Structure 1
Amino acid sequence: MLLYEHPLSSYAQKVKIALREKGLDFQVETPAGQGLGTATGAFAAASPRKEVPVLMDGEARVFDSTIILEYLEDRYPSPPLLPRNPIARAEARMIEDVCDTLYEAVNWGVSEVRWYRRAEGDLAAAMMATAARQTAELQAWLTASLGERPWFSGEAFGWADVSVAPYLNRSFYNGLGTPPDSPLTRWLERARERPSVAATFAEAEAAAAGMASAAERMASGAVKREYRDHRLEWMMKSGGVQIVLDGLAKGNIRFTWPLG
């Protein structure tokens, strides 16, 4: 089993946690050219969008983190990640959707400002303040969804927990975590104690150490950031309209397949 990924991708982290929770052996590979959208070979053949993660399992070629989780649940049902109750299953999927779209967009936007330095001075400060407000609102929603339960679906760590962990952990890394005594902080502490989560987060932390040169690599043309759906929406509504226009002019942003 081979997973094409990048350690800093929250989507890939989600899949790696699920694979480890299910006790599955897998290898990982970061595709060459993935950061420019120019990847070729088996990865590009399996993923027309040329986005990680992509799972290669025997004859199966599966892209998109949600579809990969669904495939794993169908192909390797034990231990299950989705609860059996239909309402609880729907709740887990809704939590995943919010994290994969709205939460991911905020975290991504913070990276654009901090790592890639697309905004500086007053604009950077204003965009970071907006991201902080949005993050707090998302975290309040997640706190209400968690309630008094140890895990999002009850007594067992599962689908929703796998989905929340990468995004909340990134917030803490960005200095936008919840207070130490909050239910969400205590939940994250429990999650980090799981070997599946600890290993995945350690890989992300090691990769983050190499992001000090991110802005320089983008300026050199080594990286083109992908502006897709919810990410583009975040920029447009959070003060980044000129950033998008500048990125188009400089050719350091890209869009997903099919291209124009």
Structure 2
Amino acid sequence: MSLTLYFHPLSGFCQKVMVALYENETPFTPQLVDFGDATQREDFLKLWPIGKFPLLRDDRLGKLVPETSVIIEHLALHYPGKLALLPGDPVAALEVRRLDRLFDLYVAIPMQKVVLDRLRAEGSHDPAGVAEAKATLVSAYDVLEAEIGGRQWAAGDDFSLADCSAAPALFYGERALSFRESHPRLWAYFDRLRTRPSYARALSEAEPYFHFFPRGEGDAGLSR
């Protein structure tokens, strides 16, 4: 098998790529990387010194492909499947890429700020940074409520790269700052996402690791 994905099931960015792979039933070898294991971490850093996953190794083309959106576009270009996750029309494709960036930069990244602060030792928390991250989440939720609340999927009728980004970003975003009651149309969209078979499969594979996700005050933890 020419494709190997270095990943961890709990990572939202890894789930994003797994959704794309599962949507098109693209054959690949999953290679779980445990950064808590010094040997695995060292081996991964030899491949990709930046140290961020997921990372795709394409043996057929002799390439290492980092970064989620680039991996998905690489798959679309070299291993196309039944579902085109990027439209052929360049204007429509640009809109999908814009939404993909919105979910990654303004939902997934500030969510990480909120969640990782829960792991800080007492006395080293960053309340100002967390407040700023939550404000960014609210702004993103507002934009998404207005833009995609009435659509079937993020960019319209067809499931796309943007939805691959949205599913894990909103799943974990809900655990950082809930939008269930405040943004009903966005919640309805997310409800469709989390029951999509490709994402339901990725979530099922992450479930054994949910206990590692840091809880917030009054948070019951992760659940599907």
Report the Cα distance in structure 2 between the residues aligned to 1:4 and 1:38, rounded to whole angstroms.
11
Task: Quote how far apart the aligned CAs of 1:22 are.
Answer: 1.0
1:93 maps to 97
Is the counterpart of residue 65 in structure 1 residue 64 in structure 2?
Answer: no
5 Å-filtered alignment, 1:91-240, equals: 91-114=95-118, 116-118=119-121, 127-179=129-181, 182-211=184-213
Whole-angstrom CA distance in 1 between matches of 2:65 and 2:36: 17
Tell me, which stretches of 5 or more residues in structure 2 are unaligned? 216-224
Give the equivalent residue in structure 2 for 1:81. 85
Q: Alpha-carbon deviation of 1:82?
A: 0.9
For residue 5 of structure 1, the aligned residue among 4, 7, 27 is 7
Count of equivalent residues: 210
Report the Cα offset of residue 25 of structure 1: 2.7
Q: 1:178: Cα distance to partner?
A: 3.4
Higher mean C-alpha displacement, 29-38 vs 188-197: 29-38
Give me the whole-angstrom Cα distance separating, in 2, the residues matched to 1:175 and 1:92: 25
Tell me which amino acid in the other structure corresponds to 1:83. Answer: P
Separation of aligned partners in 1, 2:37 and 2:98: 29
CA distance in 1, matches of 2:92, 2:210: 34
Please report how far the alpha carbon of residue 183 of structure 1 lies from its aligned counterpart in structure 2 after TM superposition: 1.3
Q: Could you tell me which amino acid in structure 2 is paired with residue 71 of structure 1?
A: H
Task: Return the alpha-carbon distance in structure 2 between the equivalents of residues 177 and 128 of structure 1.
Answer: 17
Cα offset, 1:137, TM superposition: 0.8
Say if 1:165 and 1:37 are closer, same or farther in 2 by CA, change over 3 A.
farther
Counterpart CA distance in 1 for 2:172 and 2:214 is 16
Rounded Cα–Cα distance in structure 1 between residues aligned with 2:65 and 2:37 = 20
Does the 8 A contact of 1:56 with 1:62 survive in 2?
yes
* TM-score, length of structure 1 as denominator length: 0.70
**CA 1:196–1:126: 2 relative to 1, 3 Å:** same
Q: Which runs of 5+ in 1 are unaligned?
A: 214-260
Kindly provide the amino acid, as one letter, of the partner of residue 112 in structure 1.
L
Residue equivalent to 1:222: none
Q: Does 1:48 align with 2:49?
A: yes
List per-residue Cα deviations over 1:87-120 (Å, max 9, x = no partner).
2211111121222223222111112222x13466
| 1:56 aligned counterpart, secondary structure | strand
Amino acid in structure 2 at the alignment position of 1:82: L
Q: Judge conservation of contact 2:7–2:30 (CA < 8 Å) in 1.
A: yes
> Percent identity between the aligned chains?
29
Residue 22 of structure 2 aligns to which amino acid in structure 1? R
